[in-house]
Structure 1
Amino acid sequence: MLISRSPIAVATVVLAIAARIGHAQAAPGTTTPSWAPRLDSVARVALATSKAPGATVAVVVDGKLAYAQGYGLANVETQQRMTADMLLRVGSVTKMFTGTMLAELAEQQRIDMSVPIADIVPSLKGKKVGAVTTQQLMTHSAGWLDNAVAYGRMGEGALGEVMREVGDTLFYTEPGRTFSYSNPSISMAGYVAEVAGKQRFAALVESLVMRPAAMKLSTFKPLEALTYPIAMGHQAGANGMQMVRPMTENTAQWAAGFLFATAPELARFAIALMNGGMIDGAQAFSAGAVRRVTTGYVAHPGGSGLDSAMYGYGLVVGRSGKDRVWTHGGAINGYNASVTMLPDRKAAVIVLVNGPGSGIDAIESAALQLAVGYAQPKVTAAVPRDANAAERAALVGRYVQGRNVLEVREQDGALKMLQGGITMTVKMVGTQELEVTPPQGAPRRVYARTDNGKAAYLYAGSRAFARQ
C-alpha cells in the first residue's frame, strides 16, 4: 500500500532511519564503482520504506563481482551492523541449488530424472506418490499440494523419515497436467537425490555445487551457520521489528528453502551458472548440468512478470524485452531474498534482507540500471474490463487445492470470487488474466487456463487451483 506524504516528511523519515542504519560496508577486495553511492542511496531509502532492519547486495558485471555491500542492522537487539559477507536464510532461492545438485547427478548418470521415483525409493512402491518422476517434482508439475512448514523435525535423518511417510492425499490434480508451486515436491526431490547419490542431502549439495563454486560459508546446518557472521531474521511485532524466536528450522524441508548463504557467494553461483559452469578458470559444475537447470520445462503463468515464463530446475526462465532472464525469489520467517541473472549480459543482482522484502524490487531495479544500463521494458497495461458472457460461462465454478478453495460466481452480469469468506470483484485483463480486488487492499492477478471452453485451472500466487 502506498501512503502519500509531503516531500519534507518523507525526507525526515529517511534521514532519521539512515542515521540509525549508518554507513554501508563494502566487501573486502572489491573496487568501488562510480555508481555505488547512488545504489547505496536507493538501498537505504528502500530499507527505510520497508522497515527491514538490514540488507546485503551483490552486483555482478561482465561475469565478475563488481560490488558487494551490507546495509543497516543484522540484529535489532544488539545493534550489530550488517556486513556484506553475513549469512542470511534465502528461502526458495535454495531450490536452484537442489536443482543443480540433481542435474549433476543426472549428468553423472547416478539418477534418471524420467523414471518413477518408486524405482529409486523402493519404500514408495504401491503408492501413487511413487509414480511421479523426479523431473516432475523438480519442475512443480507432479500435481502435488503446497505447504511450507517453518518448524519441524530436526536432524539429517528427518528428510527420509518424513518423505517415506507421505501419502497420496498430496495430489490435487494428476501428474504432468500443469505447473503449481509445491515445497513438498522439492523436498521429495531432495530425498530421491539422497537415495540415488548415497549421501545426505546437504553433503550432496556441498560436494557437487557449493564447494566446487568456492562457497565457503554457505551451509544448510544452523549450528555451522552460527559459527560465522550471521544476520538474524526479523518480522513486525507490537513494538516494531523484532527477532524471530526460536530460529526457524525444519530439516525435512531443507531442499525447498532453508539454505544459509551470503550475497557474494550467491554471486559466485550466478557467475558460474551464466558461464556454463565455469568460474575462476575452472569448471565448478558441468555444462550439461547448467543446461538442465536453465532449460524451461513447464509454463509458469504470470511467472515473475517475464515474457513466456517457464520453470527450470529451481529457476524461472523467460525474457524481458530482448534480454533472457533467470530468476527466483525466496521468503522464510524473517528473511526475504532475490537472485536475478541476465545471462547474455553476464550480469546479476542478489538482494538479501533480514525482514520484510517490499524494498527488494527497488534495489534490484536500481542496481541493474546503474551497473549495466538495463531497464525493464515499459508495457502498456491493459485496462481491466467486465467479463463478457462467454468468459463468465467459462470461469464460473469451484477451484480447489487441498483445503484452499476459490469460487467464481456470476452476480448481476459480473464476476465475483469468494475465498475464505471474502467476496472480491473480478475484472478481465486480456483473455486469460483476471484482476481480483478485495474489499480492502490492492488488486492481485489470477491467471486462467481454459480447456475445451472451460477454465480448468486458476493460478494464484503460482499455485494452481483445479476445477472441481
Structure 2
Amino acid sequence: MGHACTRLRRGAATATAVGMLMVPLAGGTARAAPPTSVPGPVTAAPSPTPSPSASGIRTLGPSVTRQLDRTVRSVLRETRVPGVTVGIWTPHQGRYVRSFGVADKSTGRRMSPGLYMRIGSETKTFTVTALLQLADQGKVKLDDPIGKYVGDVPNGSRITLRQLAGMRSGLYNYSADPDFFKALTSNPTRHFSPRELLGYSFRHPALFPPGQKFSYSNTNLVLLGLVVEKESGRPLGGSIHSGILGPAGMRNTLFPAGAEFPAPHAQGYTDQTATGKVADATGWNTSWGWAAGAMISTLDDLRVWARTVATGQFPDGRTMVGPALQKQRLNTPPTPVPGVGYGLGIFDVHGWVGHNGSLPGYESLTVYYPPARATLVVLLNTDINYRGQEPSTVFGEAITKIISPAHVFNLPAEPVAH
C-alpha cells in the first residue's frame, strides 16, 4: 500500500493509500549517483531511567549511534537518495541529529540539518488542526455535512467533515486524474486554485458511499481548507500561522502561496514528469497541493510539531486542541494495512503517531512515540520510489528497527483495491 502524501499519478490504475496515492510509473527509474555521507552533530546522553525496555526506545549511546550511522548510510546507498537528514530526540535516551549525502547534485553542496524542505502531506496535520480549532470555538461541527459549507460536492449532503478528515469520504483524489497530471507536468510553474483542483475530482463518480471505507484523497483536504477559510474569514495560511505556528514557536515553517522557497534549501529531484525522466522540481509551484501538501518546514520546527500535534498542547503547555477533540483525533480506526490506523489527519503506525509527506522532489516523515516521548523526523530530497517503496518509509523502517524494535514504522507498498 502506498503511504505518503500528495504524490502524482501517471497511468491507468489507482490504489488506496495511507498518506498518499501511489501508482507505479511506466518505464525504469533514473537514479542519482551515490551520495557521500556528511557527519552532523550527534549527542548521545544515556540515562539509567527509564530503562529502554520500559520506554520502548533504546538508549542512544555510542554503539546505537554507530549502528544508526551505518544503517542510514547503507539505506542512502541502496536507495540512491541524494541526501537525507535524520533527527531523533528523547527526554531520557539521548538525541541523534545527522545529515548524509548532498543537497544539490550539480554542485555537491552537502545536506545539512538547517535546510528548509518541502513537507508535502504533513500539511494535512496543520489543516485538520485549524479545523479542530474552529470546532473548539463552536464555529463548525465535525458531523456537519460538507454541503453546509461548500456547494456542488458529490454526496455533499452526506459526507461529514469528520469523514473528510479521516479519509473516508469516498471522493476521487484529484491528483490521480490523468488530465491533472498532464496539466501540472506540462507547466509545473502554473498556479492552481482550490476550485480548479476540485474540478478534477468532481468529474469522477464517488468511489463508495461516505464512511464505508478508507481511501486516501487529497480532495478531502482541499474541501477542509475551504471550510477553514470560510468560517475563519481569512486565508488558510493565515489561520495556520496565527493559530498554530506562532503559538508553537515554529518560526521557520510556512504555507507558501506558490513556488516561493526560503533559502537555504535542498534541491529536490523527481521522476514524476511527463516523460518519466528525473528533473529538478525545486521551483515547482506547489499551489496544486494547497491544504493537502504545500507547506515548508525545517528539522527543528518539525521536532516541535511532532509532539505538539500528537498531544494537542503547545510547547509552553497551552492547549492547541481541546482534550475531547484531541481524543477524537487520535482515535485511529484501522486501514487496510495491518497495524496502521488513520484518525483525523493523523496516523498511528505500530505506535508511532504523526504523518509523512511526498511531493515531487521531497519526502518527509514526522512521528512521535508517546510512551517514551520520542520524536523521529526524516527529511530527504527526492520522491523517487525504491522497489515500490517510499524512500522515507525505507529510512523510517530501518531506523525504528534499531531504536524501537518492538514498534517498527512499516507501511507496505502493495496496492489495495478500493
Shorter-chain TM range is 0.7 to 0.9
Give the residue type in structure 2 aligned to 1:183: N
Cross-structure match for 2:367: 340
> After the TM superposition, which of the residue ranges 158-167 and 75-84 deviates more from structure 2?
158-167
Give the residue type in structure 2 aligned to 1:264: D
Identify, as 1 or 2, the structure richer in strand. 1
Contact 1:98 1:190 in 2 (8 A): yes
Contact 1:124 1:164 in 2 (8 A): no
Among 86, 90, 105, the alignment partner of 2:115 is 86
Contact 1:341 1:348 in 2 (8 A): yes
Partners of 1:197 and 1:114 lie apart in 2 by 18
Cross-structure match for 1:349: 376
Please give the residue correspondences for 1:77-116 in structure 2 after superposition, counting only pairs within 5 Å.
Answer: 77-116=106-145
Aligned residues: 354
> After the TM superposition, which of the residue ranges 105-114 and 213-222 deviates more from structure 2?
213-222
Cross-structure match for 2:221: 186
Give the residue type in structure 1 aligned to 2:76: L
Give the residue type in structure 1 aligned to 2:353: W
Partners of 1:22 and 1:166 lie apart in 2 by 42
Cross-structure match for 1:407: none
Secondary structure of the structure 1 residue equivalent to 2:366: strand
Instruction: Provide closer, same or farther for how the CA distance between residues 222 and 163 of structure 1 changes in structure 2, counting only shifts above 3 A.
Output: closer
Deviation of 1:81 after TM superposition, in Å, equals 1.3
Instruction: Provide closer, same or farther for how the CA distance between residues 299 and 284 of structure 1 changes in structure 2, counting only shifts above 3 A.
Output: closer
Give the residue type in structure 2 aligned to 1:364: G
Instruction: Provide closer, same or farther for how the CA distance between residues 378 and 39 of structure 1 changes in structure 2, counting only shifts above 3 A.
Output: closer
RMSD: 3.6
Is residue 109 of structure 2 the alignment partner of residue 74 of structure 1? no
CA deviation digits over 1:73-103, x for unaligned, max 9? 1111122211112122222222222222211
Contact 2:118 2:296 in 1 (8 A): yes
Cross-structure match for 1:204: 239
Residue segments in structure 1 that go unaligned for 5+ positions in a row:
1-15, 380-442, 447-458
Cross-structure match for 2:25: none
Deviation of 1:342 after TM superposition, in Å, equals 1.7
Instruction: Provide closer, same or farther for how the CA distance between residues 101 and 288 of structure 1 changes in structure 2, counting only shifts above 3 A.
Output: farther
Give the residue type in structure 2 aligned to 1:23: V
Partners of 1:224 and 1:211 lie apart in 2 by 22
Deviation of 1:375 after TM superposition, in Å, equals 3.4
Partners of 2:141 and 2:269 lie apart in 1 by 40
Please give the residue correspondences for 1:221-236 in structure 2 after superposition, counting only pairs within 5 Å.
Answer: 221=256, 226-235=261-270
Instruction: Provide closer, same or farther for how the CA distance between residues 153 and 199 of structure 1 changes in structure 2, counting only shifts above 3 A.
Output: farther
Give the residue type in structure 1 aligned to 2:235: R
Is residue 36 of structure 2 the alignment partner of residue 21 of structure 1? yes
Secondary structure of the structure 1 residue equivalent to 2:289: helix
Partners of 1:98 and 1:300 lie apart in 2 by 21
Contact 2:267 2:281 in 1 (8 A): no
Give the residue type in structure 2 aligned to 1:344: P
Is residue 341 of structure 2 the alignment partner of residue 310 of structure 1? yes
Secondary structure of the structure 2 residue equivalent to 1:211: helix
Partners of 1:85 and 1:174 lie apart in 2 by 45
Give the residue type in structure 1 aligned to 2:283: M
Partners of 1:177 and 1:350 lie apart in 2 by 33
Partners of 1:139 and 1:113 lie apart in 2 by 11
Partners of 2:409 and 2:376 lie apart in 1 by 20
Please give the residue correspondences for 1:311-326 in structure 2 after superposition, counting only pairs within 5 Å.
Answer: 311-317=342-348, 320=350, 324-326=351-353
Partners of 1:57 and 1:241 lie apart in 2 by 28
- CA radius of gyration, larger in: 1
Give the residue type in structure 2 aligned to 1:211: G
Larger RCO (CA within 8 A; separation ≥ 6) = 2
Cross-structure match for 1:360: 392
Give the residue type in structure 2 aligned to 1:331: S
Deviation of 1:243 after TM superposition, in Å, equals 4.3
Instruction: Provide closer, same or farther for how the CA distance between residues 274 and 242 of structure 1 changes in structure 2, counting only shifts above 3 A.
Output: same
Partners of 1:26 and 1:314 lie apart in 2 by 32
Partners of 1:89 and 1:370 lie apart in 2 by 27
Instruction: Provide closer, same or farther for how the CA distance between residues 174 and 370 of structure 1 changes in structure 2, counting only shifts above 3 A.
Output: closer
Instruction: Provide closer, same or farther for how the CA distance between residues 65 and 292 of structure 1 changes in structure 2, counting only shifts above 3 A.
Output: farther
Partners of 2:84 and 2:408 lie apart in 1 by 27
CA deviation digits over 1:262-285, x for unaligned, max 9? 222112111223444142444455
Partners of 2:119 and 2:217 lie apart in 1 by 17
Deviation of 1:174 after TM superposition, in Å, equals 1.8
Secondary structure of the structure 2 residue equivalent to 1:26: coil
Secondary structure of the structure 2 residue equivalent to 1:331: strand
Secondary structure of the structure 1 residue equivalent to 2:98: strand
Give the residue type in structure 2 aligned to 1:90: I
